[in-house]
Structure 1
């Protein structure tokens, strides 16, 4: 997988005031966590960072801070403004490209379930799975084909197929997706049974 390039500048001031000033300049404050070393404070161009997050948050980023030669990092976390959706802060984790890491990856359902065509409802209780792989092998997502699911069927983590070089480490018995009967039919059935019961009771009373 091709690396994404990002350039940042060192950040020496901390706190809410300096962070607000950076954001007014179109910059986003961030931190790089190094294995066995101190964390590095930085500021990045907001437009470039947002594009990187959209293109693939599991991609390896060649991050250059000031005049250094660059280092491979992954996005660890980020915070968004609650109304505008702007990136307010970002955390990176420096990685060793020769060492496998474990990280969450988005789970995407594909295909049209047979049970949905028969009137069922597709439920997806799991949105991410934990995978282990070399940083360059991390996928942007894991796909789950639900085409064969009928009403009452469920797919678990054990049914997922990982790309080459990737191991899914989430609990294999965790339900990924299922097709359930629509609740409206259940409620109508219960209401019908209640009406029939009332009619039967009424009939018995009249007979008495």
Structure 2
């Protein structure tokens, strides 16, 4: 993983008011934890930091330049405004080159499985112990041409050299199953709802069909009753 270099400014003002002023200046408040030191509060340039975090992925590793000193920092938590989708705060962990860290790495599925199959990602991340400078952005799993019934376990993943898989090797990561038809899916849903005692609300089309069926049944019963009366 390439390291992005970001110039950070030491931060001495705290609280919501200070954070708002920082964000209005298109900057991001952040804090660096780790190695038994007191937390280091900094301010980061907004656009450059956003691009670095986007490029680095979930475990972005940044070279933070603070007062002429370089601190290697691993991203641990990013707070994003739910409305404006801008970064509000970032938590980092201080690391050293060569130091191993424990991280959750996303799983990316590529390729197209065999015909009439459904690819299910059972676990979207895997946990690795890996050198901080060698964290992969993702673990890629190819399902190209795989038939239904294929299961890819954690032990079958292609992890970087020197990295250790911390998940159970038998953990199911990707499951290639047989694609279920819409009719079969509807039948399974109705059966599950019936077992749970849930009465499903009918669509307008289903209500119309049910009304027609009931009307036809009523007409048939009426004709049968008339026939019995005639015979008598």
Q: Same fold (TM over 0.5)?
A: yes
2:43 is matched with: 43
The equivalent of 1:8 in structure 2 is: 8
Residue 185 of structure 2 corresponds to which residue in structure 1? 187
Q: What is the match of residue 131 of structure 1?
A: 128
Partner of 1:195: none
The structure with the larger Rg is 2
Aligned-pair CA distance for 1:189: 6.6
Q: How does 1:75-114 map to 2 (within 5 A)?
A: 75-114=75-114
How far apart in 1 are the matches of 2:18 and 2:123? 39
2:140 alignment partner, one of 138, 143, 148? 143
| Structure-2 residue corresponding to 1:174 | 171
Distance 1:153 1:14, change over 3 A: same
State the superposition RMSD in angstroms. Answer: 1.9
Contact 2:107–2:126 (Cα < 8 Å) also in 1: yes
Contact 1:59/1:136 (<8 A) preserved: no
Q: Distance in 2 between matches of 1:16 and 1:96?
A: 31
Greater RCO (CA < 8 Å, at least 6 residues apart): 1
Comparing both structures, which one devotes a greater share of its residues to helix?
2
SS state at 2:63 partner: strand
**Quick one: distance in 1 between partners of 2:148 and 2:183?**
13
**Number of residue-to-residue matches in the alignment:** 187
Partner in structure 1 of residue 224 of structure 2 = none
Distance 1:124 1:113 in 2: 13
Deviations 1:125-161 (A, max 9, x none): 2111111111111111111112253223221212211
The answer for unaligned runs of 5 or more in structure 2 is 190-232
Can you list the C-alpha shifts for 1:151-176, whole angstroms capped at 9, x where unaligned?
23221212211122222222222221
Secondary structure of the structure 2 residue equivalent to 1:56:
helix
Within 1, Cα distance between the matches of 2:188 and 2:68? 69
